[in-house]
Structure 1
Amino acid sequence: MTGLGDSIGADTVLTAVLAAAASVFGDAVGAGDGFFSLGGDSLAAVEIVTALEAELDVDISTDVVVCTDTFADLAAALASAMAAETGTPSGELEACALPLSAGDGAREGQR
């Protein structure tokens, strides 16, 4: 992991996540909002990742964006990985079934 990882707090990461999501979706975004519930797609995921990588100076996989339930969960996963300097969180993503579209049920158990 590169950059500011260990010096950025969870609140700063959450603020960055919400700002990135708001810039993509064009509206105020809450911590409890979900990527797919706002109409997220692969392009939106790439745009959020690009914004977060620039703001936080870290490498982030788009899988983390689409596999977390809320933006608060995304921020927590990123903050945890940054604090541990382990890179992008991957353990929680192993069980993530990526939907084909927002209407497909974002998780395997929702089908």
Structure 2
Amino acid sequence: MHLAKALTLFCLSSGALSFKIRAFREGDCKGEATEINIWDNTCKGSGVPKTLSFEVLSYGAHRQRAGFYSDGSCNALGREWVDYFADGGSNVFKKGGCINLGFGAYSMGSRSA
């Protein structure tokens, strides 16, 4: 029993959390959708469908930022991108609302602020 508690504490304290979204291929959260889970401090560049809008399903850890990039590698240099606080502290990145990106995102990431 102590081992399970220790592992749980380690996972939570090591940042093993994530934000989760429902990604839509069209604006205004319409059309085909895919649920995507982005672990804290990682980039998801493969298997991400072109995303024009999304709905937040769950938040990441404290001080995590959610980034959305027009390329497939979470690279902001010379690309279109936007990021938000993913820990519930953003006035835009809120559960249940629809967020329009204004461009097609092909990769998503989470990083510490």
Return the TM-score normalized by structure 1: 0.30
Larger fraction in strand: 2
Which structure has more RCO (C-alpha within 8 Å, separation ≥ 6)? 1
Larger fraction in helix: 1
